[in-house]
Structure 1
Amino acid sequence: MTARLINIYCDESCHLENDRQQVMVLGGVYCDVSEIRRISSAIRGIKDRHQIAPGFEIKWTKVSNGALPFYRELIAFFLNDTSLRFRGVLVPDKAILDHAAHDQTHDEWYYKMYFLMLRYVFSAPHSYNVYLDIKDTRGSKKVQHMHEVLCNSIHDFDHQTIHRVQQIRSHESPILQLADLLIGAVAYQNRGLVESAAKMQLIEDLKLRLGENILSRSSSFGATKFNLFRWEPIGGANDPS
């Protein structure tokens, strides 16, 4: 097997401990580095067809009836393009977490969830760059620690497998913006929200192609296009295994 360099563009929804949101989703869209220019150009073409400004940032929160044809074509593009894949972790209820009982902080548990999300993607002999959306001012130290945690978890002590873990701004990457869109769909579905007809249409588009329960249940291991893991604590423990 020829070794490839793969970029993973990651985002998250409601990852903070005390944000009063029950559902948390982590996820990433990934592809070979050699495909990034083509994919970015294709997304620009979709914007052009729908008369969307080149600098318009694709976001779940921006899905509306007026922009629905544009977003439906984006979802179709993701589904049809064989180079793009998604992996996510769904935590349906953060309220049940008891970090003190398991001798961990929320940040430590958060890193465990990120590893749980990414370990499905990591595969020898390939190497990886992991890009995270900038969320807060603590970012650089947090990202450096995450790089160490991920590398140590797979015994990649010389960083030959995970080359880079780096923050980027979402407007710099249309693939990261696709991750936001897919994570938003998972979160919306599992919060039981139905207020937006446009968002419900995108969810139906995903279900029609991928399966009725694709946004709420764990996928089979072989589901490589869209793979979701629904995390539940085993025996009441905050253990991602």
Structure 2
Amino acid sequence: MNELFHVYCDESCHLENDAAKAMVLGAVWCPASHRQMLARELKALKKQYGLAPNFEIKWVKVSPSKLDFYLAVIDLFFAQPLLHFRGLVVPDKSCLQHDKFGQSHDEFYYKMWYHLLNRLISPEERYRIFLDIKDTQGQAKVGKLHDVLCNANYDFDRAVIESIELVHSHDVLLLQLADLLIGALGYVHRGLTESPAKLAVIARIREQSGLNLLQSSLVRAEKFNVFVWRPQA
């Protein structure tokens, strides 16, 4: 029987004119049958480091007082073979020339989600995809994205990509993990250096992944996969 995977997606600075240089999309995925066990492992880390059960793992919360906890989260991710991550970075949105390619920023946005997620999809498996609720356009967004992915995979009866659903990140620990990892990618690609704690988390990711995070990983990288998108000349 085809295995069901859950894919937890987040995005950062994806709007065209939000004053942020880099746009980052990311997904953490795992077998659906193990998601509760993986969430329990993250909850156990919170307890170990004296954090409240409802503490939300977020990149913006990385600080000196919580650094040991966040380093432990990174170590857990890399030590746990059931967890995988793929991130897509558009390093400089100011270089985008949508008019040249006859597209809107929204169309470009969906193309980037396609590039991120299509690499994960196998026709032999089944997927439920979860996106963090960020704005009132969310429902239309997931409907469009579902159509794009299903059409690209000839999944017209939606037997492979079963659903794309909106969820609140504070309810889903593995979505919070996606926030942490895309936050690190965004910090690197925006050239930020103000937070020693965040730089320490980035250093741990670089050490564990063997990547500098500024360049794409090997296409076939399974554990921690990064695609740095470059515009056509």
Same fold flag (TM > 0.5): yes
Per the alignment, residue 170 of structure 2 pairs with 171
> Counterpart amino acid of 2:192?
L
TM-score (normalised: structure 1):
0.95
Q: Distance in 2 between matches of 1:205 and 1:140?
A: 36
Q: Distance in 2 between matches of 1:163 and 1:212?
A: 33
> Counterpart amino acid of 2:142?
V
- Matched residue of 1:16: which SS? coil
Per the alignment, residue 13 of structure 2 pairs with 14
Q: Distance in 1 between matches of 2:221 and 2:129?
A: 21
- Matched residue of 1:86: which SS? strand
Per the alignment, residue 23 of structure 1 pairs with 22
Per the alignment, residue 148 of structure 1 pairs with 147
Q: Distance in 2 between matches of 1:86 and 1:172?
A: 19
Per the alignment, residue 99 of structure 2 pairs with 100
User: Identity of counterpart residues, as a percentage?
Assistant: 46
Displacement of 1:101 in angstroms is 2.1
Displacement of 1:96 in angstroms is 1.0
Per the alignment, residue 36 of structure 2 pairs with 37
Per the alignment, residue 111 of structure 2 pairs with 112
TM-score (normalised: structure 2):
0.98
Per the alignment, residue 202 of structure 1 pairs with 201
Q: Deviations over 1:163-214 (max 9, x none)?
A: 001110001110000000000000101111111111011111111111141x
Mark the CA change 1:201 to 1:127 in structure 2 (over 3 Å): closer, same or farther.
same
- Matched residue of 1:67: which SS? helix
Name stretches of at least 5 consecutive residues in structure 1 with no aligned partner.
236-241
Per the alignment, residue 135 of structure 2 pairs with 136
Q: Distance in 1 between matches of 2:197 and 2:171?
A: 25
- Matched residue of 1:164: which SS? strand
> Counterpart amino acid of 1:51?
G
Structure 1 stretches of 4+ with a deviation exceeding 6 A read none
Per the alignment, residue 192 of structure 1 pairs with 191
Q: Distance in 2 between matches of 1:210 and 1:139?
A: 32
Per the alignment, residue 226 of structure 2 pairs with 228
Q: Distance in 2 between matches of 1:44 and 1:144?
A: 32
Displacement of 1:124 in angstroms is 2.4
- Matched residue of 2:65: which SS? coil
Q: Distance in 1 between matches of 2:55 and 2:222?
A: 29
Alpha-carbon RMSD across the aligned residues, in angstroms, is: 0.9
> Counterpart amino acid of 2:229?
W
Displacement of 1:234 in angstroms is 2.0
Q: Distance in 2 between matches of 1:220 and 1:149?
A: 25
Contact 2:211 2:217 in 1 (8 A): no
Alignment of 1:22-101 (within 5 A): 22-101=21-100
Q: Deviations over 1:18-61 (max 9, x none)?
A: 10111011000000001101001111100000110011110000
Q: Distance in 2 between matches of 1:141 and 1:190?
A: 29
Per the alignment, residue 216 of structure 2 pairs with 218
